[in-house]
Amino acid sequence: MTGRRGEPLLEVRGLCADYGAGPGAVHAVRDADLTLHRGEVLGLAGESGSGKSTFAYAITRLLRAPGIITAGDVRFHTASGQVADLLAANEAQLRVLRWSQISVVMQSAMNALNPVFTIGAQLTDVLEAHQPGMSKKAQRDRAAELLTMVGITADRLGSYPHELSGGMRQRVMIAMALALEPDVVIMDEPTTALDVVTQREILEELAELRDRLGFAILFITHDLSLLIEIADSIAVMYAGRLVERATAAALFRAPRHPYSLGLLSSFPSLHGPRQHLTGIPGSPPDLRDLPQGCVFHPRCPYVMDRCRTDSPPLADLSGNGPPRQAACWLHDGQQEPPAPLALPWPATGTAAVAAPMAAAGSAWTAAAQGTGPAAGPAGAGPAAGAGPAETAAAASHTAVVSHTEAGRPDETNHTDETDQADAAPSLRSTP
């Protein structure tokens, strides 16, 4: 691997991918822009059906019919220092890049192993295909090394897939993806079917391998809480569009898009007062017939008139802190955004962390009950004129009152949310 950590490695601009053609085409990915840097763990989050897997298969040219790439540009900075146009490359050029520089751990990967071949045969098959001059003994030794690297003893080379547990099969697929020491590893829901203990073990191994080998990871999952722990930065996808991109800490403490806020409010916190959780109301749109304007506006509690007619671009946001982007008219400078979407970065203290969760809960509840967006300046969300500190205090007070009225004791022993993230092994880049 060559190049410095932090340099652009994979650049995607204006990517569009459909399933089918004509009026009935499913617009799975629309105008996606994304950059993966060397050594970075970039999380791609969103509900099922939001286009995450299609995006991954499109940039690697693994999209099967009836999937077609209709527009865009994908540039990969190779180990030799050249820039490869992945969408214009022929099959021979792609074969050179795949596995050796870009590898993929497919969704449901632990079921992708061939049941009639041993683990050793399938690992050495990768080496034989891409390094034909390698001797049989060297292939066998490398296969044993790969298994050991992911925590499996070398005597399992003679085992068949059905003789391994689900976690072991997942590890074998990760070992296969790392066989040729690629620069980029794309992981599509690699831990979804695993129990939390096995999931934790695999993530710890990935963290160690990433630190040792220096590869970049595009980690695709619907579990935003998982990405907050392991990713350097997170991109949020909805209905085929990227709606927000920020560092993991910034997205968690101060989301800027209502959809990101809704995702964050959909999983419970381990610290602080108990709160009533409500999901995002409604369902994702039909990708064959997307709504006019912002695709999220039918489900958004902060919807404005402009949202129903104009589609917002993914734009850079001003302010202190790391660069970030969001596709939302609430941040166009024409009005004050709702307080839950305007928390300062960096946010300090438990109240600042809890504010988006509690405020989002009331917004989603109001929308689900059909009451529409709460009143506020320019039709924005609840208490849009209030400052972040006031909103945090009000949200915390509401949560405690509701908690006490439900017959449960008032929990006042608040612990900073960052303690949980700091205590867990992380894939994030070290400074």
Bridge partners (DSSP) listed for residue 15: 32
Task: Work out the pLDDT band at 226, boundaries 50, 70, 90.
Answer: confident
Residue among 402, 136, 179 nearest 273 (CA): 402
The confidence score (pLDDT) of residue 241 equals: 95
Decide which of 128 and 205 is more confident. Answer: 128
DSSP state of 196: H
pLDDT digit string, tens, across residues 12-28? 999 999 999 988 899 99
Q: CA distances (Å), 253 to each of 223, 236, 343, 345, in order?
A: 17, 15, 8, 8
The confidence score (pLDDT) of residue 391 equals: 37
> Given CA atoms 416, 422, 425, 428 in this order, what sign does their dihedral have?
positive
- Is 50 exceeded by the pLDDT of residue 42? yes
The confidence score (pLDDT) of residue 50 equals: 92
The confidence score (pLDDT) of residue 366 equals: 54
Lowest mean pLDDT among 253-257, 302-306, 390-394: 390-394
Is 38 within 8 Å of 186 (Cβ atoms)?
no
The confidence score (pLDDT) of residue 353 equals: 44
The confidence score (pLDDT) of residue 209 equals: 86
Map out the domains of the chain as residue ranges.
8-222, 235-423
C-alpha to C-alpha distance for 411 and 426, rounded to whole angstroms: 29
Lowest mean pLDDT among 91-100, 130-139, 290-299, 352-361: 352-361
Lowest mean pLDDT among 4-18, 207-221, 329-343, 384-398: 384-398
The confidence score (pLDDT) of residue 102 equals: 94
Is 336 within 8 Å of 298 (Cβ atoms)?
no
Task: Work out the pLDDT band at 57, boundaries 50, 70, 90.
Answer: very high
C-alpha to C-alpha distance for 274 and 339, rounded to whole angstroms: 21
CATH superfamily of 8-222: P-loop containing nucleotide triphosphate hydrolases (3.40.50.300)
Range 238-275 burial, b when 16+ CB lie within 10 A, else e:
bbbbbbbbbbbbbbbbbbbbbbbbbbbbbeebebbbbb
Mean pLDDT score, 98-117: 85
Lowest mean pLDDT among 170-184, 210-224, 346-360: 346-360
The confidence score (pLDDT) of residue 292 equals: 93
CA dihedral 313, 314, 319, 324 (to 10 degrees): 180
- Is 60 exceeded by the pLDDT of residue 88? yes
- Is 50 exceeded by the pLDDT of residue 419? no
Is 296 within 8 Å of 373 (Cβ atoms)?
no
For 132, other C-beta atoms within 10 Å of its C-beta total 7
pTM of the model: 0.80
The confidence score (pLDDT) of residue 140 equals: 94
Mean per-residue pLDDT over the chain, rounded:
80
- Is 80 exceeded by the pLDDT of residue 377? no
C-alpha to C-alpha distance for 281 and 290, rounded to whole angstroms: 17
For residue 419, what are its two tokens?
Answer: 């303690």
- Is 90 exceeded by the pLDDT of residue 157? yes
The confidence score (pLDDT) of residue 185 equals: 94
Is 235 within 8 Å of 244 (Cβ atoms)?
yes
pLDDT digit string, tens, across residues 319-374? 777 889 999 999 988 889 998 998 887 543 333 344 455 555 555 555 545 544 44
